[in-house]
Amino acid sequence: MDAEYAIECRGITKTFGTVKANDGIDLNARFGEILALLGENGSGKTTLMNILSGIYHPDSGSVHVSGKALHINSPSDAIGLGIGMIHQHFKLVEIMSAMDNIILGAKDKLQKPSSLKRKILDLCDLYGLKIDPEKKIYQMSVSERQTVEILKVLYRNARILILDEPTAVLTPQETTGLFLILRKMKEKGCCVIIITHKLNEVLEISDRVTILRKGKSVATVLTAETNEARLAESMVGRAVNLSIKRPLVERGKPALEVKNLTSLEPDGRKSLSNLNFTLYSGEMLGVAGIAGSGQKALCETLTGLSKAHAGEIAYEGVNCMGKSAAEISKLGVRLAFVPEDRLGMGLVGSMGIADNMLLKTYKSGKGAFINRKPAIRQAERIIESLDIQTPGVDAPIRMLSGGNIQKVLLGREIESRPKVLIVAYPVRGLDINTSYAIYDLLNEQKRNKTAIIFCGEDIDVLLEISDRIMVLSDGRITGIESAASLTKEDVGLMMAGMDFRDKVQA
Partner 1 sequence: MKCSQSLKYTDAQQSQQAAVSIMDIKASERKEPLIRIVKRNELSRTQVLALRLSSAVMAVAAGGLFILMLGFNPFMIYASIVSGAFRSSVALQATIKIMIPLLISSLGVSLAFKMKFWNIGAEGQIIAGAIFASYFALYHGLWPRQALIPAMLAAGIVGGGIWGLIPAIFKNKFNTNETLFTLMLNYIALNLIVFLRDGPWADPESGGFPKIARFVPNVQLPKLFGVQIGWIFALALAVFLHVYMKRSKHGYEISVVGESASTAEYAGMNVRWIVLRTMFLSGGICGAAGMIQAAGSDYTLAQSVAGGVGFTAIIVAWLADLSPLGIFIVSFLFSVLSKGCSVMQSTYGISTYSSNVLQGVILFFVLGCEFFIRHRFALRAPEGEAH
- For partner 1, the binding residues (CB under 8 A) are 1, 3-4, 6, 16-19, 30-33, 57-62, 65-66, 68-71, 73, 77, 80-82, 157, 159-160, 186-190, 224, 305, 324-326, 329, 337, 339, 341, 343-351, 355, 358-360, 362-363, 368-370, 399
For partner 1, give the closer residue by CB, 30 or 503: 30
Distance of alpha carbon 271 from alpha carbon 67, whole angstroms: 51
Say whether 237 sits in a helix, a strand or coil: coil
For partner 1, give the closer residue by CB, 139 or 227: 227
Distance of alpha carbon 469 from alpha carbon 483, whole angstroms: 5
Q: Shortest approach of partner 1 to residue 229 CB, angstroms?
A: 23
For partner 1, give the closer residue by CB, 21 or 493: 21
Q: Shortest approach of partner 1 to residue 302 CB, angstroms?
A: 13
Q: Shortest approach of partner 1 to residue 189 CB, angstroms?
A: 3
Element (H, E) at 279: strand 270-280
Neighbouring residues of 403: CB distance < 8 A, sequence distance ≥ 6: 430, 431, 433, 434, 437
Distance of alpha carbon 138 from alpha carbon 278, whole angstroms: 34
Q: Shortest approach of partner 1 to residue 433 CB, angstroms?
A: 25
Distance of alpha carbon 10 from alpha carbon 60, whole angstroms: 9
For partner 1, give the closer residue by CB, 13 or 274: 13
DSSP state of 181: H
Q: Shortest approach of partner 1 to residue 79 CB, angstroms?
A: 10
Of 183, 184, 176, nearest to 207 by C-alpha is: 183
For partner 1, give the closer residue by CB, 60 or 319: 60
Burial of 263 (0-12, 13-18, 19+ CB in 10 A): buried
Q: Shortest approach of partner 1 to residue 353 CB, angstroms?
A: 15
Say whether 241 sits in a helix, a strand or coil: coil
For partner 1, give the closer residue by CB, 130 or 307: 307
For partner 1, give the closer residue by CB, 349 or 374: 349
Q: Shortest approach of partner 1 to residue 330 CB, angstroms?
A: 9
For partner 1, give the closer residue by CB, 125 or 502: 125
Q: Shortest approach of partner 1 to residue 297 CB, angstroms?
A: 14
Distance of alpha carbon 493 from alpha carbon 480, whole angstroms: 13
Distance of alpha carbon 132 from alpha carbon 153, whole angstroms: 17
SS (H, E, C) 456-496: CCCHHHHHHHCCEEEEEECCEEEEEEEHHHCCHHHHHHHHC
